[in-house]
């Protein structure tokens, strides 16, 4: 099951029209625990980094750690979602989103949602 989940994350990268190249690490630590890491080169000189530490619990995948980080061509952060517990006053703590305007409360997006958001952001800025 966990291998199928990790493979599905790679498939999202393969199918995205904005991802030109990527390297990934899929670490199946057990039948129920896995780690996924991707470093991607996108159109327009953007870079995207994705990390997930996930566990299968009661037939659902729980992401204990996630981080999705987008940098522009000048290597400046353009967008980041993560659940690092360093903004305890935010509504959906520890989930949050970093933008060029600051940090805001967020839901815990899935990789597919983040890729779609990035596709729109890049299209608007190219």
* Beta-ladder partners of 82: 67, 96
Query: Residue 111 belongs to what H/E stretch?
Result: helix 111-125
pLDDT at 126: 67
Q: For the chain, which ranges sit under pLDDT 70?
A: 126
pTM: 0.94
Q: Which residue in 118, 17, 23, 29 sits closest to 68, CA to CA?
A: 118
pLDDT at 125: 78
CA torsion, ordered 32, 47, 98, 13, to nearest 10 deg: -40
pLDDT at 124: 87
């Amino acid at each position: 099951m966990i291998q199928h989940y990790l493979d599905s994350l790679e498939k999202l990268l393969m199918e995205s029209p904005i991802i030109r190249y990527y390297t990934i690490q899929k670490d199946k630590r057990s039948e129920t625990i896995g780690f996924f890491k991707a470093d991607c080169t996108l159109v327009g000189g953007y870079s995207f980094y994705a990390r997930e530490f996930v566990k299968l619990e009661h037939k659902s995948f729980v992401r204990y750690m996630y981080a999705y980080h987008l940098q522009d061509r000048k290597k400046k952060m353009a967008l980041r979602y993560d659940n690092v517990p360093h903004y305890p006053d935010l509504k959906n703590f520890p989930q949050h989103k970093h933008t060029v305007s600051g940090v805001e409360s967020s839901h815990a997006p899935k990789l597919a949602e983040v890729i779609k958001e990035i596709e729109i952001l890049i299209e608007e800025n190219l």
